[in-house]
Every structure is written in C-alpha cells, then in structure tokens.
C-alpha cells in the first residue's frame, strides 16, 4: 500500500513537472515582470531563450527549458541517453570547499549561520546575506536609530531611541550627512559604496541614499570588477618590484553578464597583485552608465564601477572568509 502510494506521488510529480517544463513552442509568452528569485539564486534566460526565470538549484528537477544555475557550475543530468525530458541539477567536477570543518562539493549551497547562505564553486565560497541589509539614516522623527537584537530572532531590527534632550545627528561609521547638500525638508545623505562582492570576475557593490525628489531611502547597485579571474598579473610585475598596483588592459574589452554583452568596448584599470603577501584593493573609483545587449535583442542599462587607483596593504581577507568586505580599504572620491 505504501509502495503504491509513493509511486502515485512520484508519477504525479513527474507529470506536473512535465506540464510546467514543456518543450519550446517557438512563441514566447512571458510575464510582464521577471520573478523575484530567493537570495543566491540566479535570474537567467530559460532554455528556449524566451523568458527570464529563477535557475534550478542543486538536486532540483530540470528540463531543457527549466535550466540549472550556470553561475554555480550546475548542469542538467538526464541520466540515460534516451531520456531527454527530465533530469536533476548536478555540479560539474570542481574543487571542494572546507568551511567550519565541513567539506562541501562544488555547486553545493549551505548556510554558514542563520544570517548567511553560501555556495561552494570550484574551491571558492561566496555568500549572500539572509537578513535585511537596509540602513536607516537619522531623521527628525528618529534622530538616533540603532539595530538591536530581538530575543528569538536571528536578524537584528531597527529601534528608535528618543533622548530626553535634543541631540545632534548620529555620525555613522562609514558615512554622515553632507552639510552642503540641504534641500527643503530634506537632509540629503549617501553612504559609501560597499566593497565589491567578488575579488575577481564580475560582482556587485551597493550603497543607500535619499538623494531623490521624495527624500526616500533607496538602495542603489552597481556592477564591479576588481580584476579578471585567472589573469596571471604576477607575470607583469617588473624586475626589482614587489607589486603591480593598478594595471590597465592592453586591448579594449567588453563586459558580459548573464549572456548579455556591453554595446561598447572599454580599457578599464584593475587592481593588481603583490609577491610579498599584500593584497591590492580599489581606493579611488568612479561610476559610469553602461548598456548591455542580450541575445534576444533586449537592452539593459546598468551602472558600473571603474577603478581610478588601487592600494596594496597587508589587511587581507583569509581563505574562504565570508566577511572579506570588512578587510577592504575604504573607497574614496566616488559620489557619482
């Protein structure tokens, strides 16, 4: 009885999945807005090249239309050659990761704590926060906001403290109000850009500002690339020198994100490397608008960090350190 029930459930799951993952019809019919993917799940083009969907993750069912997450090195394993309808997302061979005494396979996702979800990818670990990263700036109705630990909850929450006497605006650790940016009924404030989420390859950097007509807090995001992966910059260090600080690429290049490529070519600067144990990170940057053209003809507009200069120092993150952004030098001179 139990076996028959289990088989019925399996047949139902497969039938439902086949209906959801139908073969490509040749005509695209996509929702007006793309789906909101969970933290750490990539938004990609489906296997038909039609709609943007949340990529399938390790161990989930997949089809030629419902693709696995390519940014985590996953592919759809259909098993037998004659079975091309339903597979399981599997990781390609890659180096394992060690975190907290546990070994994780390449492509495997895990929670390092209740605050972070991490993914192992060929020996490197990348993490995304599960708690809200919003920043509350001082305001007349809440002059002294602070995060407090709530019993029974993992993530801290904002609390307004009202002192008995008038106090000045609280100075934040990495930003503060600009006395020259005052508008009617609005004190304009903008945080510093965060460190790039990746030490090599394309990542993201964020900041919070209320520099808009409604004086409303909003989160801004820009793309960033500290250096290309596998760039072998050590070979460019001159004889007698220990570092190459801010090299520029010799030939124009284009940036690519999720299969979309920039419409223009660029010769950006990157942060280099050292031979004496120091690491080089962005020091002065600027932000410029860019256009990406996708295979389906869609054009995306994104902002991207361009490096002006880098600083080399010994304050480097350790291997597989999920808090590596805390080690980065503060980036200066970029309020664009």
Please say whether the beta carbons of 95 and 122 come within 8 A. Answer: yes
pLDDT band at 223 (very low <50, low <70, confident <90, very high): very high
| pLDDT tens digits along 265-299 | 999 999 988 888 888 888 889 999 999 998 888 88
Tell me whether strands 74-77 and 273-274 are parallel, antiparallel or unpaired. unpaired
> Looking at the DSSP assignment, which residues form a beta bridge with residue 284?
309, 332
303-333 residues labelled b (16+ CB within 10 A) or e (exposed): ebbbbeebbbeeebbeebebebeebbbebee
Element (H or E) spanning 88, and its range? strand 87-91
- Look at residue 200 and tell me whether its pLDDT is greater than 90: no
Show me where the domains of the chain are located. 41-89, 95-127, 137-162, 185-311
| pLDDT tens digits along 229-245 | 877 787 788 888 888 88
Rounded to whole angstroms, the Cα distance separating 227 from 202 reads 9
Rounded to whole angstroms, the Cα distance separating 42 from 72 reads 9
Distances (CA, A) of 268 to 112, 222, 242, 277, 286: 35, 15, 22, 25, 11
- Look at residue 259 and tell me whether its pLDDT is greater than 90: no
- Look at residue 217 and tell me whether its pLDDT is greater than 60: yes
For 174-189, what is the mean pLDDT?
Answer: 55
Phi, psi of 239 (to 5 degrees): -60, 130
What pLDDT score was predicted for residue 83?
Answer: 65
What pLDDT score was predicted for residue 60?
Answer: 87
What pLDDT score was predicted for residue 290?
Answer: 92
Class of domain 41-89: few secondary structures
| pLDDT tens digits along 6-48 | 344 344 444 444 444 456 777 888 888 889 888 778 889 898 8
């Amino acid at each position: 009885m139990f076996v028959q029930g289990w088989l019925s459930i399996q047949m139902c799951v497969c039938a439902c999945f086949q209906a959801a993952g139908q073969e490509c019809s040749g005509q695209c019919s996509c929702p007006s807005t793309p789906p909101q993917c969970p933290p750490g799940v990539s938004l990609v083009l489906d296997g038909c090249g039609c709609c943007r969907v949340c990529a399938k993750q390790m161990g989930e069912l997949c089809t030629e239309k419902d693709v696995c997450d390519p940014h985590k090195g996953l592919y759809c394993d259909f098993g037998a050659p004659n079975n091309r309808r339903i597979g399981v997302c599997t990781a390609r061979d890659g180096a394992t990761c060690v975190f907290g005494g546990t070994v994780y396979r390449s492509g495997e996702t895990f929670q390092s704590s209740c605050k972070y979800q991490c993914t192992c990818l060929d020996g490197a670990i990348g993490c995304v926060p599960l708690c809200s990263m919003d920043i509350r700036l001082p305001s007349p109705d809440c002059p002294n906001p602070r995060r407090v630990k709530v019993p029974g909850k993992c993530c801290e929450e904002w609390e307004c403290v009202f002192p008995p006497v008038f106090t000045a605006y609280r100075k934040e650790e990495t930003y503060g109000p600009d006395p020259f940016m005052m508008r009617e009924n609005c004190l304009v404030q903008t945080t510093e850009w965060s460190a790039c989420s990746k030490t090599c390859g394309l990542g993201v950097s964020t900041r919070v500002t209320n520099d808009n007509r409604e004086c409303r807090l909003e989160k801004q995001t820009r793309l960033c690339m500290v250096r290309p992966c596998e760039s072998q910059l050590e070979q460019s260090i001159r004889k007698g020198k220990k570092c190459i600080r801010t090299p520029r690429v010799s030939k124009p290049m284009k940036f690519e994100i999720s299969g979309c490529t920039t419409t223009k070519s660029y010769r950006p600067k990157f942060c280099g490397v050292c031979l004496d144990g120091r690491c080089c990170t962005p020091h002065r940057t600027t932000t410029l608008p860019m256009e990406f053209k996708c295979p389906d003809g869609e054009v995306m507009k994104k902002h991207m960090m361009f490096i002006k200069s880098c600083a080399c120092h010994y304050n480097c993150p350790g291997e597989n350190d999920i808090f590596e952004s805390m080690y980065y030098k503060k980036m200066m001179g970029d309020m664009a």
